[in-house]
């Protein structure tokens, strides 16, 4: 159509507003029959703002004109600097998308950190609840989720939001509890990544954190491997920051907990340094804030539940050091033990973190 060439010179992929105006002009000037035969559907903007997805996966920012692109089954468009980059990307798209998101997130830490001051974890939870409610309503009470790791089409029932992690510079991560719609014992913990974009909280991605695993005829929850992408390992970005941040320490701690648990079907085994008893535990969470001792070690507290119980929670301390840019766990020790008092389980400390010497909070 001549009017298209006349009204719409080549517009770069980033010119979303210009493309929309151009489409409107075509609708006005095009013959009625042509408009009826070929209705225009607004094109969704490409992922990563049109940057080359393969370059991002390799730790580089490269803008493209999106002449070489790929669209996944969810309609998300990824751009490439050339067809060679596209072919390399498509050899392992799930892994490459994860790596690209990690690098893109790390690159926007400072701006995100500033934007987060206007929101709270509660705001993120409210957004997630609304999104889930809308999806459940549209799908006859079912929260449908396509598991990107193994391709399973999950039909889940929403239970509740367990808790929300806040990682400065990276966003909010509500952990949401679901169960299989046909078996309430098959439970899932799914992470929702919420980030402020242009002054508005938006959902970025959903990823399974824990999934059901049958052990000796009973369903239990096992942390998904590899570690969920939002615990961006410090080793992926050595030298990104001169001073290690709290999330890097927590990443090392959780990685250690998951690796050790994998050796024993989800059970973290630890010898109690005081009683000599071997504890069988399940990882629950890492506390904030993280601290750094004057001797250089980073120090993080965690909660572990005694296997087979609900409220018997140990507080386990991890000492972490920075070795050539990689955070490594050096020591693990029981900090608080569960004791039954007046019918309730409480944590009784063996020492206070202040007893370890001077320290400061790691942001």
The encoded tokens of residue 5 equal 């060439």
Q: Which pLDDT score, from 0 to 100, does residue 22 have?
A: 45
Query: How many whole angstroms separate alpha carbon 299 and alpha carbon 318?
Result: 6
In which residue are the tokens 């893109």 written?
104
In which residue are the tokens 């900090």 written?
335
Positive or negative, the CA dihedral 63, 171, 101, 247 is positive
Q: Which pLDDT score, from 0 to 100, does residue 204 have?
A: 81
pLDDT digits (tens, 9 = 90+) for 122-174: 999 999 999 999 999 999 999 999 886 667 899 999 999 988 887 766 788 89
Q: Which pLDDT score, from 0 to 100, does residue 273 have?
A: 92
Burial (0-12, 13-18, 19+ Cβ within 10 Å), 137: exposed
Indicate the length of the chain as a whole number. Answer: 363
Buried b (16+ CB within 10 A) or exposed e, 222-260: bbbeebbbbbbbbeebeeeeeebbbbbbbbbbbbbbbeb
Whether the Cβ atoms of residue 85 and residue 91 lie closer than 8 Å to each other: no
Residue 66, classed as helix, strand or coil, is coil
Burial (0-12, 13-18, 19+ Cβ within 10 Å), 100: buried
Low pLDDT (below 50) residues in the chain: 1-41, 232-242
| Beta carbons within 10 angstroms of residue 178's beta carbon | 21
The encoded tokens of residue 352 equal 């206070």
DSSP H or E run through 198:
none
In which residue are the tokens 């000796």 written?
216
DSSP annotation string for 250-261:
HHHHHHHHHHHH
| Beta carbons within 10 angstroms of residue 279's beta carbon | 18
């Amino acid at each position: 159509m001549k009017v298209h060439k006349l009204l719409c010179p080549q517009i770069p992929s980033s010119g979303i507003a210009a493309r929309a105006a151009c489409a409107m002009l075509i609708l006005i000037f095009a013959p009625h029959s042509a408009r009826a035969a070929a209705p225009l559907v607004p094109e969704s903007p490409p992922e990563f703002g049109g940057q080359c997805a393969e370059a991002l996966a390799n730790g580089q920012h490269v803008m493209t004109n999106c002449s070489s692109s790929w669209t996944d089954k969810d309609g998300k468009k990824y751009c490439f600097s050339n067809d060679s980059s596209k072919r390399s990307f498509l050899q392992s798209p799930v892994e490459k998308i994860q790596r690209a998101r990690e690098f893109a997130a790390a690159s926007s830490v400072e701006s995100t950190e500033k934007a987060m001051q206007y929101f709270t974890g509660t705001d993120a939870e409210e957004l997630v609840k609304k999104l889930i409610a809308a999806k459940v309503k549209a799908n006859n009470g079912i929260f449908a989720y396509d598991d990107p790791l193994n391709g399973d089409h999950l039909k889940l029932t929403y239970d509740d939001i367990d808790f929300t992690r806040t990682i400065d510079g990276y966003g909010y991560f509500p952990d949401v509890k679901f169960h299989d719609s046909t078996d309430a014992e098959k439970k899932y913990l799914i992470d929702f990544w919420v980030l402020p974009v242009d002054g508005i909280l938006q959902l970025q991605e959903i990823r399974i954190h824990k999934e059901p695993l049958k052990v000796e005829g009973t369903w239990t929850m096992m942390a998904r491997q590899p570690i969920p992408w939002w615990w961006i390992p410090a080793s992926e970005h050595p030298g990104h920051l001169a001073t290690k941040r709290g999330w890097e320490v927590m990443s090392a701690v959780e990685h250690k907990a998951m690796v050790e648990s994998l050796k024993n079907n989800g059970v973290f085994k630890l010898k109690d340094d005081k009683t000599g008893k071997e504890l069988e535990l399940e990882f629950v969470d890492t506390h904030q804030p993280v601290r750094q001792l004057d001797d250089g070690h980073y120090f993080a507290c965690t909660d572990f539940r005694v296997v087979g119980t609900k409220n018997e929670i140990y507080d386990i301390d991890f000492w972490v050091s920075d070795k050539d840019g990689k955070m490594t766990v050096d020591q693990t020790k029981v900090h608080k033990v569960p004791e039954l008092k007046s019918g309730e389980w409480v944590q009784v400390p063996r020492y206070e973190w202040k007893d370890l010497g001077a320290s400061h909070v790691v942001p």
